[in-house]
Structure 1
Amino acid sequence: MPHLPSHKKRITTIGVGLLIVLALGTAVWLLLWCKCNRTKRVRQKELELLGGMGPRGFDLHELAAATSNFADENKLGRGGFGSVYKGYLKDLDLDVAIKVLSEKQSSEEQSEQGLREFKAEVKVMTQLRHRSIVKLVGWCDSNKRLLLVYELMAQGSLDKHLYNQERTLTWQQRFRIVLDIGSGLLYLHRDCEKCIVHGDIKPANIMLDVSHIAKLGDFGLARLVDHGEEPKTTQVVAGTLGYIDPEFINNRWPRTQSDVYSFGIVLLEIACGKRPASRQPNGASSLLAWVHNLYSQGMTLDAADQRLNGEFDRQQMERVIVTGLWCAHQDPIQRPSIVEAMDVLRSVNAELPVLGAVHDSRHIRAMEEQAFADLTAEDRPVRAVTQSRYFTSNDSSYLLAEE
């Protein structure tokens, strides 16, 4: 019996200790919860300010419901950025494409990097209002999952149609696509408040709606540049082999001339129905070298896609091919602006340029291979992407214009 008070005291002490630990744990949890909530509200507010009155924020559960919880049967594709899913938003009665930009990151630094690039793309896309630009419907920033919601382009990407073995695009469809792409690029370079350099123009990033109207999409590599100002150099070489401007590999200036170069390569690809980096019938190592060789011999129309069986407007075909060569000129100073290129494409009365030399294909390949080789080397000063449709690197300072 004399030990009972001591035992009771011990139980009381333990009970008090447990209550203190529980209280401290609850306080820490509440502090962390408040901090996370505050951070989330700040990030959401930043995105809302970027979005203005256009695209809006979505909750993750809304997008999960729209895609049947991101079911495999709704997956439209996958790239280095993540996956794209088809979805249906009931409240908007709208079919959409939902692009998952990042899952949980392995470090806080990578997470902040992903968020920065996510905000950069939102900032670019919310400024754009043009029939030839894929429309951003909204975004989601939840549980470290970053998603962008776009209008669904029913016909998919241009590359799937250019190389469809069963059914090819008619020349009328191709020429309209050329004008659509050029119109979108003209809007980005000239008509936006800040000049926007797309940075990755290629058929895989050109989407077609149900009427085969072409729209530029995927602005993960886009740069904002003040009109008339020289862009800052970047330590990052980003783009896709065959379309990337060799001069950008050299000087790392994200300029409109680089978009014009890529546009020129796409024009040749649309007209000729051949991939830019594939070996050509005469042994040329690139589409650009093959077409320029035919042009220099006065045989420009021989480059036309044989699958068209000669069913094309000869004047339009010549204008597209020559403009493509002009845009891909070896000297960026000799390239047209997108305004000049569109003047030639749109007008039957515009005088075609007389072209000199273009980049030697072996020189182009050597530069590309040098820039894109050994991408996994940790001490490599230049990092590049060759296949991904969404770019991630340690240097994203070029993505957002300075305030």
Structure 2
Amino acid sequence: LVFRPREGGHQTREGVSQRLRARLSTLACSAIRSGGMGLLSMSRHSNWRDHHFKLQLKLHKREFLNYKGKTEFLDELNTIAGLRHKNLVQLQGWCVEKGELLLVYDFMPNGSLDKMLYKEPERGKLLSWSHRQNIALGLASVLVYLHQECEQRVIHRDIKAGNILLDGNFNPRLGDFGLAKLMDHDKGPVSTLTAGTMGYLAPEYLQYGKATDKTDVFSYGVVVLEVACGRRPIEREGYKMLNLIDWVWGLHSEGKVIEAADKRLNGEFEEEKMRKLLILGLSCANPDSAERPSMRRVLQILNNEAAPLAVPKVKPTLTFSSDLPLPLTIEDIVSEADQESMCKIKID
């Protein structure tokens, strides 16, 4: 069976025709990346009932097809089915076929943001400064929607460059809601198994396992710094791990934050706007969650409707009270793990 969203977010149930079954069975023709719960694949051009379209498929791998995998699949479906925003990847339908679980989305021809930042430049395709500004703005807009404008607040919990897809005009579309949590607007943080991608996780989330809108703000700040600097959140340099936030903050403390700008842009950007974006990224990635702005304030800053926040010259340090010998440094956390690996730490 396939569920297809109609206008207003309601759903109808339709039987799957033999032709659609055949189409879905051939959609997984070329995997483009791994997500939190499975593979993302893309379809080829196709004409079906005279409608020319492209789709993107999320295929949940067979090892996830236990009760937990099905439950998380349905959680993701229920989360995104009713969401409508121009900067969200649009769900077109879903299917359970021969023991495989599939989500069908609009196809994003320019792939993921991390691919455009780190792979395409090798082929001569570099994100322009205007596209980077638009990505920061679009992502801020959709997070305002998720945090404040939905009936239930949505905490994404896995905001990263790999989960931001780019349409034909390089507009950002946030996807992969496999780790998302819904919260009532008047409720406190959600205590949960810490899950996400290393380098994007807020320190208090790593420490206590409590997800709030401010943990999403932290991840957004990391993405903004990636977009501005063209560097991954965590990079290995020899035997050391280089943390992007620490590096940019160090330049900021020396009054040289503009030197963090992506060198591949060859200076083709407005210096004051680049500085503003870098400072915004640092303010969102502040270790102290109380000092991070709301996404509404971030959007206002980007639209020149509010003044930029002041960022301390020295990066704040946090002290956590805990009886558990938890890793508190980037080196401890990622010494045995790749930067893209999933982090799961249970906090009692």
TM range (shorter): 0.7 to 0.9
Find the aligned partners of 2:79 and 2:47 in 1 and give their Cα distance: 23
Find the aligned partners of 1:191 and 1:349 in 2 and give their Cα distance: 20
Listed as ranges, the matches of 1:293-332 within 5 Å are: 293-332=250-289
- For each residue in 1:250-285, what CA deviation from the matched residue of structure 2 results, as whole angstroms up to 9, or x when unmatched? 11111111110000011111001111101579x882
| Post-superposition offset of 1:78 | 4.2
The corresponding residue for 1:215 is 173
Structure 2 residue 52 is the aligned partner of structure 1 residue 98? no
Q: Contact (CA 8 Å) 2:276, 2:308: kept in 1 or not? A: no
Find the aligned partners of 1:125 and 1:55 in 2 and give their Cα distance: 15
Query: Which residue type is aligned with residue 341 of structure 2?
Result: Q
- For each residue in 1:32-78, what CA deviation from the matched residue of structure 2 results, as whole angstroms up to 9, or x when unmatched? xxxxxxxx9xxx89x999x9525866739555522563464x44344
Query: Which residue type is aligned with residue 85 of structure 2?
Result: H
The corresponding residue for 2:67 is 112
Query: Which residue type is aligned with residue 140 of structure 1?
Result: C
Which structure is larger by alpha-carbon Rg, 1 or 2?
1
| Post-superposition offset of 1:118 | 1.1
Question: Number of matched residues?
Answer: 329
Percentage of matched positions with identical amino acids = 36
Query: Which residue type is aligned with residue 170 of structure 1?
Result: S
2:195 pairs with 211, 225, 238, which one?
238
Find the aligned partners of 2:259 and 2:172 in 1 and give their Cα distance: 26
| Post-superposition offset of 1:111 | 2.2
The corresponding residue for 2:22 is 65
Secondary structure at 1:98 match in 2 = strand
Secondary structure at 2:170 match in 1 = coil
Listed as ranges, the matches of 1:3-402 within 5 Å are: 53-54=10-11, 59=16, 62-66=19-23, 69-70=26-27, 72=29, 74-79=30-35, 81-87=37-43, 88=46, 90-91=48-49, 92-103=51-62, 111-163=66-118, 164-165=121-122, 166-234=124-192, 236-279=193-236, 285-347=242-304, 350-355=307-312, 357-358=314-315, 363-366=328-331, 368-369=333-334, 386-387=340-341
Find the aligned partners of 2:241 and 2:67 in 1 and give their Cα distance: 45
Query: Which residue type is aligned with residue 172 of structure 1?
Result: S
The structure with more helix, counted as a fraction of residues = 1
Find the aligned partners of 2:82 and 2:93 in 1 and give their Cα distance: 13
Q: Contact (CA 8 Å) 1:262, 1:328: kept in 2 or not? A: yes
Secondary structure at 2:60 match in 1 = strand
Q: Which moved more, 1:115-124 or 1:224-233?
A: 224-233
Distance of aligned partners of 1:233 and 1:104 in 2 relative to their CA distance in 1, 3 Å threshold = closer
Q: In structure 2, list runs of 5 or more residues that go unmatched.
A: 319-326
Distance of aligned partners of 1:66 and 1:332 in 2 relative to their CA distance in 1, 3 Å threshold = same
The structure with more strand, counted as a fraction of residues = 2
- For each residue in 1:334-363, what CA deviation from the matched residue of structure 2 results, as whole angstroms up to 9, or x when unmatched? 111111122212207624423254366994
| Post-superposition offset of 1:103 | 2.6
Query: Which residue type is aligned with residue 365 of structure 1?
Result: I
| Post-superposition offset of 1:127 | 1.6
Find the aligned partners of 2:66 and 2:306 in 1 and give their Cα distance: 54
Distance of aligned partners of 1:198 and 1:89 in 2 relative to their CA distance in 1, 3 Å threshold = farther
Distance of aligned partners of 1:61 and 1:83 in 2 relative to their CA distance in 1, 3 Å threshold = farther
Per the normalisation by structure 1, the TM-score is 0.73
Q: C-alpha root-mean-square deviation of aligned residues, in Å?
A: 3.3
Per the normalisation by structure 2, the TM-score is 0.83
Find the aligned partners of 1:352 and 1:231 in 2 and give their Cα distance: 24
| Post-superposition offset of 1:226 | 0.7
Find the aligned partners of 2:317 and 2:298 in 1 and give their Cα distance: 22
